[in-house]
Chain A
Amino acid sequence: MSTAAMEGVERGSLLAGGTRTRLLQAGPAEASEAVVFLHGNPGSADDWIGMAGAAAEAGRRAVAFDLPDFGETIAPSGFEHDVPGYARFVDQALTELGIEHAHLVLHDFGGPIGLAWAAMRPDAVASVTLIDTGLLPGYRWHVLARIWRTPVLGELFQATATRRAFRSLLNLREPRGLPREFAEAMYDHYDSRTRKAVLALYRATDDPGGMSEALIGLFAEREIPALVIWGEHDAYLPWSFAARQREAFPGAEVHVLPASGHWPFADAPETAERLLREFLEALPPDRG
């Protein structure tokens, strides 16, 4: 991530949905229109330091937070580890933050969660940036997800995911590997709570493409500005879905990065940050 973009990103915390979550903020703190970053799995608010800086450079308020049981944030008792449960948490967090209009920036499982929230509050969506995620009509779970979804096998996998095994598996499936500190931080957060949450979330999501048809109709007629960034070497969610996001977001600008994998903002930070900054700069100014 570029150092320039990291400056001005402040760490804090937020009480929302019955828990205290870690919060990254940048740009004008009082704005009611903000760029809202939702991480995937495994991931945390930390994924977005560089990208949040880029959004602030575009003059926008940027917020990123841990989803419950990811990063360092503990889910409240009774929390439902499924897409609707996480979408409700996002809604509570945005209410706490005073955000009325959101430019969603979504990665991986942050995609289904963020789009489910968007379906709940379509009028609050100012734009959508999809990074290796989106609507996935006809998608069949990747092999890791199928392992996680299998009782016993999933638990066994999580129990044997040592730091070394985790890093090897991660880098094996990335075209250029991930920056070491990025991968290390990811593992640091991949604790037993996160591992359990991952199993619950994937097991609760039977058909990752299931909601697509309904959502495509809902979003397409609203002509939401959209940016799609996809690593061509994504081993989990194939880039062939990138152009298909135009079914829901007809005006989407689509960039398939030819040397990137599943985490373009980690393996091509300059490009990902530039694309986001330029996309945000080209949108109408904040509504307030």
Chain B
Amino acid sequence: MPSTDSHSPIIGDDPAYDAVIVGASLAGCAAAIQLGRAGLSVAVVEKQPDPNAFKRMCSHFIQASAVPTLERLELLEPIEAAGGQRPRVRIWTRWGWIEAPAERAARGVNLRREVLDPLVRKAAAATAGVEMLLGWSLERLLREGGGFGGIAVRNREGEERELRARLTVGADGRDSRTAELSGVPVKTYPHNRFAYGGYFEGGAPANAPDATAWFLDPQWCAAFPTDNDLTFYAAMPTKDRLPEFRKEPEAALVRFLSDVPEAPPIRAGRAIEPVIGKIEMTNRMRKPVAPGLALIGDAALATDPLFGVGCGWAIQSSEWLAESVMAALRGDESLEQGLERYRRRHRRELGAHAFFIHDYATGRKLNPAERLMFSAAARDPEMATRFDAFGTRQVRPQQAMPRLIPRAVAVNARHALAR
């Protein structure tokens, strides 16, 4: 029986699930919904006892790439009903605004995590076959044959349980303990920017609810209008700008955003809670599978928040995993085959995106190829549309580049001749 109660009974002493998922945030809940709907038995373990817990340091932007998955999960409607916005993305560059024509621009989703997380968790808990165990922390991974076969968990009273499962899923974020305990290989990439952000009442940017990002090269800031007429304002400067933010986070954030070209009216707004920051954000790319185990969301790929891809990819990777292992969990093929399918899918979908993102996360300025593309996208609507499809992660770099580069060259050549 699904329950969000932290003292939910565990049926039997040694239950065997088809899948046990560590982490009841976006990725974990989305995976649970899909596996549960397929008739599988799923346990979701979450260390936070509060069913309304939510991730605090997050821009909460869901890229358009994840919208089809949200629709399939039947979450898009409830999200919109809860006040979720459907923004396009406008980008300031020194060559002008990159803005795809309204009818062709992709629309993402903006709903505060404070509203989104409980909504998604509730949907997961209400899915037949899904058991939600809140207030339980991962203690260790259980071994089964040559791989992993579930987890041992402990609650705050010190009670320990073993949850056996054919598939163990780590959906426990950037600092994933599941990943750490599993010993999967990890690659790290330095991040030389830091992030500060907060919700403001009033002072919404022009074109709200569309989101606006300023690529100040190398500095970056953004405005994400969201539910309840709030705006999430964020800055991601290079680390040499840190002292001013550390000293007075809110004042520094407001000053930073007020001093950019075509600045948003942030000073007309009021922060509804303290502006918070994250200073160390080393990018981590982990091998997303091990025998009997898979990682989804940030646990698999914790990348630069600057591009607002984390939430969307958490949701999408849950779908890639569910689709990949469904046959195996139904007994139609080996789990090894299913996990290998997921590993390849994850790498194909995100590998090249991650490469470009990690390179820019060093805090460097735009390179000549990027300048070529940003400038052309600011000058040409067709280029802006293609750039938008790439930026909202609806096409992969390997698909996008052959369409972007020749047009960028042509647009800039025309521009140079016209001058």
Residue numbers of A with Cβ under 8 A of B are 175-176, 232, 240, 243, 254-259, 268, 271, 275
Contacts and interface: CB of A to CB of B under 8 A. Distances in A.
A259 B260 contact: yes
Interface size class of chain B, counting residues whose CB lies under 8 Å from the partner chain: 10 to 19
A268 B261 contact: yes
B240 A255 contact: no
B55 interface: no
A171 to B, nearest CB: 12
B253 to A, nearest CB: 13
B219 interface: yes
A275 B221 CA distance: 20
B259 A271 contact: yes
B260 A176 contact: no
Contacts, number: 36
24 contacts: A175-B217, A176-B94, A232-B219, A240-B240, A243-B243, A254-B244, A255-B255, A255-B259, A258-B214, A258-B216, A258-B219, A258-B221, A258-B237, A258-B256, A258-B260, A259-B94, A259-B216, A259-B217, A259-B260, A268-B259, A271-B258, A271-B259, A271-B261, A275-B259
Interface of B: 94, 214, 216-217, 219, 221, 237, 240-241, 243-244, 255-256, 258-261, 263
Contact of B263 (A176, A254, A271): A271
**Interface class of chain A by DSSP:** mixed
Nearest to A275: B259
A259 B261 contact: yes
B241 A256 contact: yes
A268 B259 CA distance: 9
B285 to A, nearest CB: 29
Nearest to B240: A240
Given A232-B216, A275-B259, 7 more contacts: A240-B240, A254-B244, A258-B259, A258-B260, A259-B216, A259-B261, A271-B263
Contacts of A243: 243-244
Contacts of B241: 256
A163 B357 CA distance: 41
Q: Report which residue of B94, B214, B263 has the largest number of chain A beta carbons within 10 angstroms of its beta carbon.
A: B94
Contacts of A275: 259
A158 B261 CA distance: 34
A2 B216 CA distance: 22
Contacts of A176: 94
Contacts of A256: 241, 259
A33 to B, nearest CB: 27
A175 B375 CA distance: 13
A266 B217 CA distance: 19
A226 to B, nearest CB: 15
A176 B94 CA distance: 6
B105 to A, nearest CB: 24
Which 6 interchain pairs have the tightest Cβ spacing? A258-B216, A258-B219, A176-B94, A259-B216, A259-B261, A257-B259
A273 to B, nearest CB: 13
B374 to A, nearest CB: 13
Scoring A240, A258, A271 by chain B CB atoms within 10 A of each residue's CB, the highest score goes to: A258
Contacts of A259: 94, 214, 216-217, 260-261
Nearest to B94: A176
B212 to A, nearest CB: 14
Contacts of A258: 214, 216, 219, 221, 237, 256, 259-260
